[in-house]
Protein backbone atom coordinates (compact mmCIF):
# COMPACT_ATOMS: atom_id res chain seq x y z
CA UNK A 1 0.00 0.00 0.00
CA UNK A 2 1.30 3.43 -0.91
CA UNK A 3 1.38 6.24 1.63
CA UNK A 4 2.31 9.91 1.59
CA UNK A 5 4.35 10.68 4.68
CA UNK A 6 6.95 13.00 6.13
CA UNK A 7 10.62 12.06 6.28
CA UNK A 8 12.64 14.20 8.68
CA UNK A 9 15.76 15.64 7.09
CA UNK A 10 16.48 18.42 9.60
CA UNK A 11 18.96 18.53 12.41
CA UNK A 12 18.31 17.92 16.08
CA UNK A 13 15.80 20.51 17.41
CA UNK A 14 15.53 22.00 13.90
CA UNK A 15 12.90 19.90 12.12
CA UNK A 16 12.58 20.05 8.36
CA UNK A 17 10.52 17.49 6.52
CA UNK A 18 10.41 16.04 3.02
CA UNK A 19 7.00 14.89 1.78
CA UNK A 20 7.45 11.57 0.00
CA UNK A 21 5.45 8.81 -1.64
CA UNK A 22 6.63 5.45 -0.31
CA UNK A 23 5.45 1.90 0.31
CA UNK A 24 3.94 1.64 3.79
CA UNK A 25 6.36 -1.09 4.86
CA UNK A 26 9.52 0.75 3.83
CA UNK A 27 11.71 3.02 5.91
CA UNK A 28 10.99 6.72 5.14
CA UNK A 29 14.73 7.52 5.30
CA UNK A 30 15.59 4.89 2.71
CA UNK A 31 14.58 4.80 -0.91
CA UNK A 32 11.23 6.31 -1.84
CA UNK A 33 9.18 6.52 -5.02
CA UNK A 34 8.97 10.30 -5.39
CA UNK A 35 9.73 13.53 -3.55
CA UNK A 36 6.55 15.63 -3.46
CA UNK A 37 7.79 18.70 -1.62
CA UNK A 38 9.21 20.11 1.59
CA UNK A 39 7.76 21.51 4.81
CA UNK A 40 9.38 23.65 7.50
CA UNK A 41 7.21 23.55 10.65
CA UNK A 42 9.14 26.36 12.36
CA UNK A 43 8.43 28.99 9.72
CA UNK A 44 5.33 27.22 8.29
CA UNK A 45 6.85 27.42 4.80
CA UNK A 46 6.11 24.66 2.37
CA UNK A 47 6.84 23.90 -1.26
CA UNK A 48 4.40 21.23 -2.36
CA UNK A 49 3.80 19.88 -5.85
CA UNK A 50 -0.02 19.76 -5.86
CA UNK A 51 -0.23 18.07 -9.26
CA UNK A 52 1.97 15.14 -8.20
CA UNK A 53 0.20 14.83 -4.84
CA UNK A 54 -3.20 14.58 -6.54
CA UNK A 55 -1.73 12.03 -8.99
CA UNK A 56 -0.53 9.74 -6.17
CA UNK A 57 -3.81 10.06 -4.29
CA UNK A 58 -5.68 9.10 -7.46
CA UNK A 59 -3.45 6.01 -7.70
CA UNK A 60 -4.57 4.94 -4.21
CA UNK A 61 -1.90 6.45 -1.95
CA UNK A 62 -3.19 7.43 1.48
CA UNK A 63 -1.72 10.42 3.30
CA UNK A 64 -0.68 10.07 6.93
CA UNK A 65 -2.71 12.07 9.46
CA UNK A 66 -0.18 14.92 9.64
CA UNK A 67 0.20 15.08 5.86
CA UNK A 68 -3.59 14.99 5.45
CA UNK A 69 -3.99 18.00 7.77
CA UNK A 70 -1.27 19.92 5.90
CA UNK A 71 -2.91 19.23 2.55
CA UNK A 72 -6.29 20.40 3.88
CA UNK A 73 -4.69 23.59 5.24
CA UNK A 74 -2.99 24.33 1.92
CA UNK A 75 -6.21 23.65 0.00
CA UNK A 76 -4.84 20.77 -2.07
CA UNK A 77 -7.57 18.39 -0.89
CA UNK A 78 -11.01 19.17 0.52
CA UNK A 79 -11.83 17.21 3.66
CA UNK A 80 -12.07 17.59 7.41
CA UNK A 81 -8.90 17.56 9.45
CA UNK A 82 -8.01 14.34 11.23
CA UNK A 83 -7.05 14.04 14.90
CA UNK A 84 -3.33 13.34 15.07
CA UNK A 85 -2.91 12.64 18.78
CA UNK A 86 -3.76 9.27 20.28
CA UNK A 87 -5.32 9.15 23.74
CA UNK A 88 -5.19 5.87 25.63
CA UNK A 89 -8.47 4.27 26.66
CA UNK A 90 -7.62 4.64 30.34
CA UNK A 91 -6.90 8.35 29.99
CA UNK A 92 -10.04 8.88 27.92
CA UNK A 93 -12.18 7.30 30.64
CA UNK A 94 -10.66 9.65 33.24
CA UNK A 95 -11.33 12.67 31.03
CA UNK A 96 -14.95 11.58 30.55
CA UNK A 97 -15.37 11.18 34.33
CA UNK A 98 -14.01 14.69 34.94
CA UNK A 99 -16.36 16.11 32.33
CA UNK A 100 -19.34 14.40 34.00
CA UNK A 101 -18.37 15.77 37.42
CA UNK A 102 -18.00 19.28 36.01
CA UNK A 103 -21.43 19.12 34.35
Measured CA to CA in angstroms, residue 92 lies from 48, 83, 89, 99 at distances of 36, 14, 5, 11
**Sign of the four-CA dihedral 58, 63, 67, 72:** positive
Q: Give residue limits of the domains in the chain.
A: 2-102
CA-to-CA distance for 79 and 83, rounded, in angstroms?
Answer: 13
CA-to-CA distance for 28 and 20, rounded, in angstroms?
Answer: 8
> pTM, whole model, 2 decimals?
0.80
Per-residue pLDDT of the chain (103 residues; tens, 9 = 90+): 999 999 999 899 999 999 999 999 988 888 999 999 999 999 999 999 999 999 999 999 999 999 999 999 999 999 999 988 888 889 989 999 999 998 8
CA-to-CA distance for 89 and 98, rounded, in angstroms?
Answer: 14
Topology of domain 2-102, CATH? S16 Ribosomal Protein; Chain: A; (3.30.1320)
Amino acid sequence: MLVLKFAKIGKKNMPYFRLIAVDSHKDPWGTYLENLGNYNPRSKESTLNAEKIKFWISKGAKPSASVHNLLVTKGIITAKKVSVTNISKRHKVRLDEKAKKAA
